[in-house]
Homo-oligomer: A and B are copies of this chain.
Amino acid sequence: MTLKLGVIGTGAIGQEHIRRCNNVLQGAKVVAVSDINVEGARAALQRLNIEAEVYQDGHQVINSPNVDAVLVTSWDPTHEEFTLAAIAAGKPVFCEKPLALSADGCRRIVDAEVKHGKRLVQVGFMRPYDSGYRALKKVITDGEIGEPLMLHCAHRNQSVGENYTTDMAITNTLIHELDVLRWLTEDDYKSVQVVFPRVTSKSHAKLKDPQIVLFETQKGIRIDVEIFVNCAYGYDIQCEVVGEEGIAKLPEPSAIQMRKNARLGNAILTDWKDRFIDAYDVELQAFINDVKAGQLTGPSAWDGFAASVAADACLKAQNSGAIEPVEMPPRPTFYNK
Interface residues of A (CB under 8 A from B): 23-26, 131-132, 135-136, 139, 144-147, 149-150, 152, 158, 195-198, 200-202, 210, 212, 214, 216, 219-222, 224, 226, 228, 231-234, 236, 242, 244-270
Contact = CB atoms under 8 A, between A and B. Distances in A.
Q: How many copies does the complex hold?
A: 4
Given A147-B201, A221-B198, A242 B258 contact: no
Contacts of A200: 147, 149, 244
Contact of A263 (B135, B216, B244, B266): B266
Which 9 A-B pairs give the minimum distances between C-beta atoms? A265-B265, A246-B260, A198-B220, A197-B222, A247-B259, A249-B257, A251-B254, A234-B262, A233-B246
A255 B247 contact: no
A268 B262 contact: yes
Nearest to A254: B251
Nearest to A202: B244
B262 A265 contact: no
Contact of A210 (B149, B224, B228): B149
14 contacts: A135-B255, A139-B256, A146-B201, A150-B197, A224-B224, A231-B247, A233-B247, A246-B258, A246-B261, A248-B257, A249-B257, A251-B254, A263-B265, A264-B267
A257 B139 CA distance: 10
A270 B264 CA distance: 12
A248 B226 CA distance: 16
B236 A219 contact: no
A244 B201 CA distance: 7
A24 B269 CA distance: 28
A258 B144 contact: yes
B259 A226 contact: no
A267 B202 CA distance: 26
A152 B226 contact: yes
A258 B136 CA distance: 10
B259 A150 contact: no
B220 A195 contact: no
A260 B244 contact: no
A261 to B, nearest CB: 6
Nearest to A209: B149
Contact of A268 (B219, B228, B263): B263
